[in-house]
Amino acid sequence: MTLKFNKRQLQAYFVCGTQDVPGKDLETIVQTALDAGITAYQYRDKGASQLTAPQRLALGRRLRQRCAAAKVPFIVDDDVELALALNADGIHVGQKDDQVTTVLQRVAGKIFVGLSCSTVAEIEIANQIDGIAYIGSGPIFPTTSKADADPVVGLAGLRQLVKVSKRPIVAIGGITVQELGPVAHTGAAGSAVISMLAQSPDIEQTVNAMLAVTEVRP
């Protein structure tokens, strides 16, 4: 049974794969984050990941079970076949990945779809496409987690995107605990983070900080 999308799931959105936690156990880190109260988890295993496709599928199954037990949406990055094989709750696609319209047709309403948009033009196109659940916008600040990241949007750019978008926006890219409040003040529904949680010395404290600011509005 997949979870339906609601924008509260964007409050404390954790994106992580094995490449983000070298030398550590991804399952343990994700479970700690689930216990701490993250509101969504995106399985993004790529780039420097050493996993084979069968290993990625097996790990995905275990992570998917953990998310289901916690009633937290399990979202797969960019891989429709993997998302369907894992019975994911959602899939997130970028502008450079499969066309979002193709993805929407493939998943046929079984799972929700998020789309990366970093410009007003991209948001305006997304506004015309039925079926997109939410928008991921960024990088808000410089980031080291994505080698192919788009130019930095900044808080002013994020505020503009929120104003134009018909869907809730989750901010991503270089967000630190200190920036959570300013991001929330743009009207974004939440923050999606990789390093801030993956490298946190106290995951519970970091998740609490994310949850504490999400109701802040201009």
| Distance (Å, whole) CA 125 – CA 66 | 35
Domains of the chain, by residue range, sit at 7-212
Residue 94 — φ and ψ, nearest 5°?
-100, 175
C-beta atoms surrounding 17 within 10 Å: 23
Q: What is the CATH number of domain 7-212?
A: 3.20.20.70
Question: Is position 206 annotated in a ligand binding site?
Answer: no
44 as an active site residue: the answer is yes
What pLDDT, on the 0 to 100 scale, is given for residue 217? Answer: 46
What pLDDT, on the 0 to 100 scale, is given for residue 213? Answer: 87
Give pLDDT < 50 ranges for the chain. 216-218
What is the three-class DSSP state of 147?
coil
What pLDDT, on the 0 to 100 scale, is given for residue 142? Answer: 87
Please identify which of the residues 137, 146, 165, 200 carries the catalytic annotation.
Answer: 146
Question: Is position 176 annotated in a ligand binding site?
Answer: no
Over residues 92-126, the pLDDT tens digits come to 999 976 699 999 999 999 999 999 999 999 999 99
Give pTM, 2 decimals: 0.94
146 as an active site residue: the answer is yes
What pLDDT, on the 0 to 100 scale, is given for residue 139? Answer: 93
Question: Is position 135 annotated in a ligand binding site?
Answer: no
What pLDDT, on the 0 to 100 scale, is given for residue 1? Answer: 75
137 as an active site residue: the answer is no
| Cα–Cα nearest to 153, from 128, 171, 178, 126 | 171
β-sheet bridge partners, residue 40? 13
What pLDDT, on the 0 to 100 scale, is given for residue 96? Answer: 78
CB 153 within 8 A of CB 118: yes
As given in the structure block, the two tokens for residue 81 are 């076949």
